[in-house]
């Protein structure tokens, strides 16, 4: 059980931090989109509310799993705000490329977490699955509303930066967690 608590705590820490970063991405994009892409405001406002709800739901699970928030929450906030501002100022396609890149990166982590939590922590699994549905809707909206394949370089950069931020904020714990999740799901 100690292993399960430890893994669950690490999952909650990284997910809580990621949602915090996503809130800052969407907040900065909302500010810039008022000038650069006003047609995206309803989506961005709704997505930010989803992320706020996700952060709250992960935070609520922390005490019972002996989890604490990431020590570097400010990195999520600053990194998210910068990414949101830059993509927001670049305009509509960059905003959608950012959403697609971040959410696809997150989606891969959520899939691993769901596989691990199945039959180990059903409460955590259920919430991750519910969050995953909304994150998939964000990806779908982005792909449905992009007008071209531009910004492929930006998507790659954002995906790499998201992975790096996950790794940095967990002091490499995300790589160990991914390895542990891979072992646990293949056993």
Condensed to tens digits (0 to 9), the pLDDT of residues 69-102 reads 988 889 899 999 999 999 999 999 999 999 999 9
Domain architecture of the chain: domains with CATH: 2-186 (1.20.1260)
Which run of H or E residues covers position 157? helix 152-169
Q: Is the pLDDT of residue 184 over 60?
A: no
Contacts of 154 (CB under 8 A, 6+ apart): 87, 90, 94, 97, 98, 101
Residue 111: pLDDT over 70: yes
Terminal alpha carbon distance of the chain: 17
Render pLDDT for 53-74 as a digit per residue (tens, 0 to 9).
Answer: 999 999 999 999 999 998 888 9
Lowest mean pLDDT among 94-108, 138-152, 172-186: 172-186
Instruction: Please report, for residues 23, 47, 123, 175, 184, the alpha-carbon distance to residue 80 in angstroms, rounded to integers and kept in the order given.
Output: 8, 14, 28, 21, 31
């Amino acid at each position: 059980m100690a292993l399960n608590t430890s893994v669950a705590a690490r999952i909650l820490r990284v997910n809580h931090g990621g949602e915090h970063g996503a809130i800052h991405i969407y907040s900065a994009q909302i500010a810039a989109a008022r000038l650069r892409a006003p047609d995206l405001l309803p989506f961005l406002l709704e997505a930010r509310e989803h992320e706020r709800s996700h952060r709250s739901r992960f935070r609520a699970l922390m005490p019972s799993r002996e989890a604490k928030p990431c020590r570097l929450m400010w990195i999520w906030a600053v990194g998210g705000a910068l990414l949101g501002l830059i993509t927001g100022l670049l305009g509509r396609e960059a905003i959608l490329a950012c959403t697609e890149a971040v959410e696809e990166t997150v989606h891969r982590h959520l899939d691993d977490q769901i596989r691990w939590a199945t039959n180990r922590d059903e409460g955590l699994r259920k919430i991750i699955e519910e969050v995953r549905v909304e994150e998939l809707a964000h990806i779908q909206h982005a792909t449905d509303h992009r007008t071209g394949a531009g910004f492929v370089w930006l998507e790659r950069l954002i995906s790499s930066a998201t992975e790096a931020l996950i790794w940095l904020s967990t002091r490499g714990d995300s790589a160990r967690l991914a390895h542990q999740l891979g072992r646990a799901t293949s056993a």
